[in-house]
Structure 1
Amino acid sequence: MQQVVDLQNDEAFKRLGIELLAISPDPVTAWQKEGGALDVTVPMLSDIGNTVWLKYGTPAWMMATNEPGHTFFLVGSDGKIDWVRDYGAMEHGGVMYVKPAEIVSQLKDVLASP
């Protein structure tokens, strides 16, 4: 959840004009409790049953423990996926937390592409 908090509060991320939506398989009550305690202000979706997770193909990037990592999608205004990155995947370092500056840098590159 700290990843969400840090991104929502990051000034460089805000300047990108990207809307952040957090999605987790955790129940709504867990989201509300932790999100409230951390002052999460972005929309949070509880994906019980992993419907969204499966629709976007994120099982392809599961961690070595067969758990979902932190997958980021940039969805354009046309609804198409412009960028995807799962930092929990071994080929991306197998980490669960990424500094906002790294994410912002990658998103800037994508947004600058024709």
Structure 2
Amino acid sequence: MTKTRPAAKATATSSRAAKNAAAQGEAQGTERRRRTLRWTAAIAAAAAVTGGLYAVFSSSSSSAGSGKATYQAGTPGIGATAPGFALAASTGKKISLAGYHGKTVLLYFQEGLTCQPCWDQMTDLEKDAAKVKAAGVDQILSVTSDPADLITRKTKDMKLSTPVLSDPDLAVSKQYDANSYGMMGTSRDGHTFVLVGPDGKIKWRADYGGAPKYTMYVAPDKLLADLKAGEAK
């Protein structure tokens, strides 16, 4: 009878372990790819629905630009301390509100990847950066519930420099009640802007995304006019 030497046994065991580890790693990679594909498909389907609703509820750029966009003002409102947060961002790092203490920050809660007008909003605000700065805004931070990796890809595709923060479980959005003003119910944010002053207090708030118009875009001039008027009250 031929006996297997200990060294040979160890080598065989090590080889099996390596094969098992490789198989497990491949399975995990496959599952991650499947999850990404499922998420992408879900986003595409939701985008189609949102696009249809966007056509139906025509309070988009045309109505906003003509000065017809109106807004509600939820809570926390003017004078309240803005809830703090630290979220993964399209910059590849975590961004916190506390990191902007001493500056005026405009928070922009939006529906995310399913809402192209929301991204067009950021594009146009970046084009009007000088006007935004003149209005006293030092930084815009956008918040949505989509995964950080997909947000990062979107911002790169659109060549956007505005940091977009991922709030997947709506923990921060719910603190601001920003998920109560959109056409997708409470599962996503609507179209909410919150101006936070250097002292961390809310100076102005506008929830444009609510019923019955479900506004998903506000022309920058209209938005900044509303901001200035709201601060003056």
Q: Output the TM-score relative to the length of structure 1.
A: 0.85
Contact (CA 8 Å) 2:192, 2:205: kept in 1 or not?
yes
Name the residue aligned to 1:15.
Answer: 134
Name the residue aligned to 1:37.
Answer: 157
Higher RCO (CA-CA < 8 Å; seq separation 6+): 2
Name the residue aligned to 1:6.
Answer: 124
Question: 2:135 & 2:166 partners in 1: Cα distance?
Answer: 25
Indicate the percent of aligned positions where both proteins have the same amino acid.
Answer: 33
Could you say which structure has the larger radius of gyration?
A: 2
Determine which of 167, 171, 193 is the counterpart of 1:72. Answer: 193
Q: Output the TM-score relative to the length of structure 2.
A: 0.44
Question: 2:189 & 2:205 partners in 1: Cα distance?
Answer: 14
Letter in 2 for 1:109: A
Letter in 2 for 1:102: K
Query: 1:56: how far off?
Result: 0.8
Contact (CA 8 Å) 2:181, 2:210: kept in 1 or not?
yes
Q: Give unmatched runs, 5+ long, in structure 1.
A: none
Deviation above 6 Å: which 4+ runs of structure 1? none
Contact (CA 8 Å) 2:180, 2:189: kept in 1 or not?
no
Matched, 1:106 2:202: no
Question: 1:31 & 1:6 partners in 2: Cα distance?
Answer: 18
When structure 1 is superposed on structure 2, of 45-54 and 80-89 the one drifting more is 80-89
The answer to which structure has the higher helix fraction is: 2
Contact (CA 8 Å) 2:144, 2:189: kept in 1 or not?
no
Matched, 1:84 2:202: no
Letter in 2 for 1:74: L
Query: 1:103: how far off?
Result: 0.4
Contact (CA 8 Å) 1:3, 1:97: kept in 2 or not?
yes
Contact (CA 8 Å) 2:181, 2:190: kept in 1 or not?
yes
Q: Give unmatched runs, 5+ long, in structure 2.
A: 1-118
Cα RMSD (Å): 1.8
Letter in 1 for 2:210: A
Question: 2:169 & 2:195 partners in 1: Cα distance?
Answer: 22
Name the residue aligned to 2:146.
Answer: 26
